[in-house]
Amino acid sequence: MSSLRVLIPEEKIQARIRELGAQIDADYPGGGVYLVAILKGAFIFLSDLSRAMKTAARIEFVGISSYGRGKTTSGEVKLTKDLDVSVEGHDVIVVEDIVDSGITLSYLLQVFRQRRPKSLRIATFLDKPERRQRPVKVDYVGFQIPDEFVVGYGLDYAEDYRNLRDVCVLAE
């Protein structure tokens, strides 16, 4: 039987996202950024973050597969859904649910740099710095968390638990 323990409650999440929105507003005074969210895990963070900022934003999605159904990365990353638009010459913020090994994001950044955006930054809801295998510079971080497997607020285990309002540790 698996059990859930609340790690970050809803109120704390919402307060932090308001701060991140204000930070992004301060960093893009000219407005007009592309928020590119990685499916599926980032969908709730994207939804709240995009409304916490006043900066005009366009929303795009990319699909990536690396994890399969397990708890650890397969190490293989595949772009399963590419951008529908050109981001050349635009400010881009990649919106991710969690940076773990860093393999997914380092692959995606390499792909995105070839699209020649004006600027490229990363906003991640969660960061597990202890598990990093590839260096990734994250510009906006919601919360740093210890090396535990978490679910909720978009994050899944084998596609379950994404719609929990809190971030919870999933223990066997």
Q: Hey, which residues are catalytic here? A: 100
Q: How many whole angstroms separate alpha carbon 142 and alpha carbon 61? A: 20
Kindly write out the interface string for residues 18-47 of this chain, putting x where it contacts ligand IMP by CB under 6 A and - elsewhere: -----------------------x------
Q: N- to C-terminal Cα distance for the chain?
A: 6
Count helices and strands (H / E) in the chain.
Answer: 3, 9
**Contact window for ligand IMP (CB under 6 A) among 24-32, 47-55, 86-94, 150-158:** 150-158
DSSP state of 119: E
Q: Which of 48, 91, 97, 127 binds ligand IMP (CB under 6 A)?
A: 97
Query: Binders of Mg ion: how many residues, by CB under 5 A?
Result: 1
CB 77 within 8 A of CB 104: yes
Residue 150 site contact among ligand IMP, Mg ion, none (CB < 5 to 8 Å, cut-off depends on kind): ligand IMP
Residue 44 site contact among ligand IMP, Mg ion, none (CB < 5 to 8 Å, cut-off depends on kind): none
Which residue from 96, 115, 92 is spatially nearest to 104, judged by alpha carbons? 96
Residue 98 interacting with ligand IMP (CB under 6 A) = yes
CB 28 within 8 A of CB 49: no
Residues in contact with ligand IMP by the rule CB under 6 A: 41, 66-67, 73, 96-104, 149-151, 155
